[in-house]
């Protein structure tokens, strides 16, 4: 599985969009980009995933660059409850093993 690189921490004002970047320059053609988040003292929560095209669901949007070497998770209107550690993971579709890095700690402030 390809390795990912994320900033250690980010801040975002409540109500503004939070844009969390992830680099995955060694991604291969059949590997998906997954995003999870972990709120303190809870298990990780699935957010969104994608292969090539941009994706949107009720929680977030995922923008993947054309060369697929990086992606951005967008929380369109961050709330205080979005304060969490966000993990970007790359894995093959038929691989069940998830490798979590250290993620980005997002702090949403009032």
Residues at the interface with another protein (CB under 8 A): 34, 36, 41-46, 49, 96-103
State the Cα–Cα distance between residues 97 and 95, nearest whole angstrom: 6
User: 7 or 14, CB closer to another protein?
Assistant: 7
User: Minimum Å distance from CB 90 to another protein?
Assistant: 13
User: Minimum Å distance from CB 51 to another protein?
Assistant: 12
User: 46 or 109, CB closer to another protein?
Assistant: 46
Chain-centroid distance of CA 90 in Å reads 10
Cα distances (angstroms) measured from residue 99 to each of 4, 88, 92: 10, 9, 11
User: Minimum Å distance from CB 110 to another protein?
Assistant: 27
Cβ atoms of 63 and 72 closer than 8 Å: yes
| Residue 24: both structure tokens together | 């995955």
State the Cα–Cα distance between residues 63 and 51, nearest whole angstrom: 10
User: 49 or 61, CB closer to another protein?
Assistant: 49
User: 49 or 72, CB closer to another protein?
Assistant: 49
User: Minimum Å distance from CB 3 to another protein?
Assistant: 12
């Amino acid at each position: 599985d390809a390795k990912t690189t994320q900033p250690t921490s980010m801040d975002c004002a409540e109500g503004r969009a939070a844009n969390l970047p992830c680099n995955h320059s060694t991604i291969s053609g059949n590997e998906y980009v997954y995003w999870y988040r972990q709120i303190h003292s809870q298990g990780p929560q699935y957010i969104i995933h994608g292969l090539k095209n941009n994706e949107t669901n009720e929680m977030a949007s995922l923008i993947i660059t054309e060369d697929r070497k990086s992606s951005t998770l967008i929380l369109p209107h961050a709330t205080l409850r979005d304060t969490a550690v966000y993990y970007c993971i790359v894995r093959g579709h038929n691989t069940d093993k998830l490798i979590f890095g250290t993620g980005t700690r997002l702090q949403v402030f009032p």
